Structure 1
Amino acid sequence: MSSQRPILILQMQRMGDLILSYPLVLWLSRRYPGRPIWMMAEELFYKQLMQVNPGGVTFFPWAERSLAHLRSHKYELVINLSHDPRAAALAGQVESEEVFGPVSGEDGLRYIRGDWALYRASLVRSNRHNRFHWADLNALDVVSLDDIATTNWSVPRTITKVASRKVGLFLGASQEAKRPSVGFWQKLGSELLKRDLRPVLLGGPAEVELAQQVARGIPARVINFAGQQTLAELAYIGQTLGMMVTPDTGPMHLAAWTGLRTLNLSMGNVNCWETGPYQAGHFVLRARMSCSGCWHCHRARTYCHDHFLPRQVAFIIDRINQKEQECFAKRRLPDLELMETGQSRQGLYSLKSIAPAADPSARELLGLFWQQYWGARFGLWPMDEASSAFSDIYQQYPRMRDAMRGGLVRLSRDLRRGLTPGGGRTISDDFWHASSPALQPARSYCQLYLENGDMAPSAWAGCLGLVEELLDLM
């Protein structure tokens, strides 16, 4: 057994979150060769995924015997990737050289340690312009950009022509708004059959009834594995498929991690920049709507579902299966945007539109600007990158600069109150929302920064420094 202090990762979230922490384990094993890596996770998930985890990690369940064991050790590093209060309490109880993520003390007060951990928490309700993937955010506080950028993930595998005609349809998702309807799956299965593609129905125990309904609506017998396979068996089944079509769900990440090409139907309140398939060479399809990627749908129903037409989606699947997806560069989809996963020029997760617009939208340019700004602020690259990204906004949408500067001036006024004697050092719960969406990343981060800093003068001054930095860029 190694005499080196272990690294402890607390990952008490769902299966997809567990799989998205695998890259972190890989990078840590390279940065700290020979050092034990321990992870506390949900036993239901990690036991079924033992055959596909990156190796070199020891798992512990949330159980009293595990807690006693973990509390008895000293650590080199503790990384809390959970928002579970129990994980924050444990992060505060153990002795470690460094701790990142949510931490609670004996007084029950909770703080977030780490620039990127705090940024990630600030995305709650305010993630419209976020362009950082969860897998990257898991690591950026503790792993260098170079370690991430120089990792070459295997491209999705190629199998025999006959086997490639089998297309897995994973039917379920954690929320109904994030998955297609029964009618969509039935029509998609029928359209795939017309193109000599063989749908294979996949799902967990929760999708058994759904799969039966879908199968009854497809005019041919189809293979139905829903509720009949463990996660390990699902990974094995994936080795026999040409691709998987899936909403944003844990099995999508399992498919991408194990090399099965995926097409993510990104619908409902989900942001594909945050939770799309992480490895390169996969595909994401989302509605061309201004509200795509929302945190929460405030409309009467999820209108983005209407953009996913079974016949059109089946045609897209067929073209991807034939490796002819570039045909959409010449034939732009009117209501849908098809993107391919890959790396940005700086080495982080990226989504490349197969048919980018001639003139990028304001939202697209704002997303790039905020990505470049936060990366520069937290030391990933020079601030010149953010300045250049804002210049692109000004050239395309000159009026936006004045609007953003005006919003920053108002934010500065709000923040100066906290440094004025008698001005009051409190903020309202909707402080983050008191601006246009273009500036909400700054206000949301400032709100969390102030709360995390106990509203101390230094926290108000830190937020003012951020605003002044942004004004200088503009």
Structure 2
Amino acid sequence: MKRALVIQLTRFGDLVQTKRLVLTLQRRGFSVHLCIDRSLEGLARILYPDCELHPLIAHGSGIEGQGTDTVLPVNFKIFRQLAEINFSEIYNLNFSTMNYALSAMFDSKKVKGHKLINGQPLKDPWFELAFRLAAERRNNINLVDYWAALSPDMIPAADVNPAAEPGGKGIGIVLAGRESRRSLPYEVLAPLVMSARSTNKNKNLFLLGSPAEREAGRKLLSVLPSQVAKSTVNLAGKTDWAGLADAVTGLDLLITPDTGTMHLAAHLGVPVLGLFLSSAWCTETGPYGAGHTILQANTDCSPCMEAAPCYNALKCLLPFKEPSASRYVATRNPEHLPDKIAVFESNCDFLGTQYILKAGTDPTGERRQRLRKFIGCHLGLLDIGEYGPFPDLAEKFYKDNDWITP
């Protein structure tokens, strides 16, 4: 049997977003091996039960309270395992030092994505182009599709995740994401939660998060009406990977910033109401598949760079503080939508998951559709004779070496 190795050494959400690539490789007849950080092994077994896992220590979270002297023997064992397997294709999705070291173990002709050749870090031509396309972040493609397009014959986007449908169990609330600027403070989140609850048949609420969010959960409960707070289940810090998947399964709705749990919900077919601000932009990292809704902060400085300081007093948070924001969540009436919030809903097209404006403004929407067709022609998904040419886009995004044959 043909074997493919996917090296995905980043975090929770990224592992879930590798799904289209994994499913594509399996449909192409590969036995798929996943090299992941050890802290995500339990999650990977839930997401990808048919894959062979190679969990190494890529982050401090993988050490699990043991000394750093465990890193070398654990990783050496995994390196040796991988070196003994005859992989036909290797997909190296990240550009960390560890990823480059792993890529150097294999014939560079088999490595797709990021690789080292004679000590020089290089990108696959598709990644080179995609990095340039990412300069227009409002028009960027979904990360799921970015990784999947390394492989020929991508499976249809609609085959990746189930179309989202309410499951009847109530509403889940993810308290915060890894980046604090991308999450709503508890006092801003509470009115939105109550508005969503008011229109949902099942009034049960479940708070979700890591141990770091336990205090945020207590604060949110303190500002909810007492009867609502008493019936709310606070699961922050109380679930392992299996417990989290069980808690999310069957929800009517998941209210969340841009988080790994959001991508898990999409994997399970749970509708997402995403609250995106700061550096989070739905066309890049929104939940994958049809049936999700994003309230997107649409200020002139968004999306910003995650690692850069905010010089605008987090003005992208202000629209979520307006009373009309919670009124919109309850009514879904565009007349109630605050200025500087755009509402997008997800569906699937020829390229992958896209977000369509439902309320508010989207000044770059027309260009985004043109860019999607440009990318579709580049990847061979569309006929350039029918949809092209794209002289302006080709002049901006193509470089001379894109035309050099392998």
What TM-score comes out, normalization by structure 1 length? 0.72
1:51-130 aligned at under 5 Å gives the runs: 51=46, 53-62=47-56, 63-95=75-107, 98-105=110-117, 107-113=118-124, 115-122=125-132, 126-130=135-139
Retained in 1: the 8 A contact 2:195–2:329? no
Structure 1: how far apart are the matches of 2:322 and 2:53?
Answer: 41
Retained in 2: the 8 A contact 1:70–1:94? no
Match of 2:64 in 1: none
Structure 1: how far apart are the matches of 2:161 and 2:236?
Answer: 29
Question: Quick one: which of 346, 351, 358 aligns to 1:354?
Answer: 358
Structure 1 runs not aligned, ≥5 long: 320-324, 391-400, 409-438, 447-457, 464-474
Question: Quick one: which of 277, 300, 305 aligns to 1:267?
Answer: 277
Retained in 2: the 8 A contact 1:192–1:199? no
Say whether residues 1:219 and 2:225 are aligned partners.
yes
Retained in 2: the 8 A contact 1:368–1:389? no
Structure 1: how far apart are the matches of 2:99 and 2:386?
Answer: 36
Question: Quick one: which of 205, 210, 217 aligns to 1:204?
Answer: 210
**Change over 3 Å in CA distance of 1:135–1:194 after alignment to 2:** closer
**Change over 3 Å in CA distance of 1:50–1:100 after alignment to 2:** same
Structure 2 runs not aligned, ≥5 long: 57-74
1:378-457 aligned at under 5 Å gives the runs: 378-384=379-385, 387=388, 442=397, 446=399
Question: Quick one: which of 174, 181, 202 aligns to 2:178?
Answer: 174
Aligned length: 379
**Change over 3 Å in CA distance of 1:257–1:315 after alignment to 2:** farther
Let me know the Cα RMSD of the aligned residues: 3.0
Say whether residues 1:188 and 2:189 are aligned partners.
no
Aligned residue for 2:144, secondary structure, equals helix
Retained in 2: the 8 A contact 1:168–1:241? yes
Identity, % of aligned positions: 22
Match of 2:41 in 1: 46
**Which one-letter code corresponds to 2:164 in the other structure?**
P
Aligned residue for 1:47, secondary structure, equals helix
After superposition, the C-alpha distances for 1:307-356 in whole angstroms (9 at most, x for unaligned) are 1137444444445xxxxx5x54x876643221111112x24211112247
1:301-340 aligned at under 5 Å gives the runs: 301-309=313-321, 311-319=323-331, 327-328=333-334, 334-340=339-345
Say whether residues 1:154 and 2:162 are aligned partners.
yes
Say whether residues 1:12 and 2:21 are aligned partners.
no
After superposition, the C-alpha distances for 1:279-307 in whole angstroms (9 at most, x for unaligned) are 21111111233333333565332211111
**Which one-letter code corresponds to 1:12 in the other structure?**
L
Retained in 2: the 8 A contact 1:103–1:112? yes
Structure 2: how far apart are the matches of 1:388 and 1:316?
Answer: 41
Say whether residues 1:25 and 2:36 are aligned partners.
no
**Change over 3 Å in CA distance of 1:256–1:47 after alignment to 2:** same
**Which one-letter code corresponds to 2:166 in the other structure?**
T
Match of 1:137 in 2: 146
Aligned residue for 2:284, secondary structure, equals helix
1:355-370 aligned at under 5 Å gives the runs: 355=359, 361=363, 363-370=364-371
Structure 2: how far apart are the matches of 1:228 and 1:248?
Answer: 21
Higher relative contact order (CA 8 A, sep 6+): 2
Retained in 2: the 8 A contact 1:307–1:335? yes
Structure 2: how far apart are the matches of 1:139 and 1:233?
Answer: 28
After superposition, the C-alpha distances for 1:122-150 in whole angstroms (9 at most, x for unaligned) are 356x24253311111111121325x3256
**Change over 3 Å in CA distance of 1:376–1:55 after alignment to 2:** same
Match of 2:66 in 1: none
**Change over 3 Å in CA distance of 1:388–1:309 after alignment to 2:** farther
1:82 Cα deviation from its structure 2 partner: 1.4
**Which one-letter code corresponds to 2:3 in the other structure?**
P
Query: Which has the higher mean CA deviation after the structures are superposed, 183-192 or 223-232?
Result: 183-192
What TM-score comes out, normalization by structure 2 length? 0.83
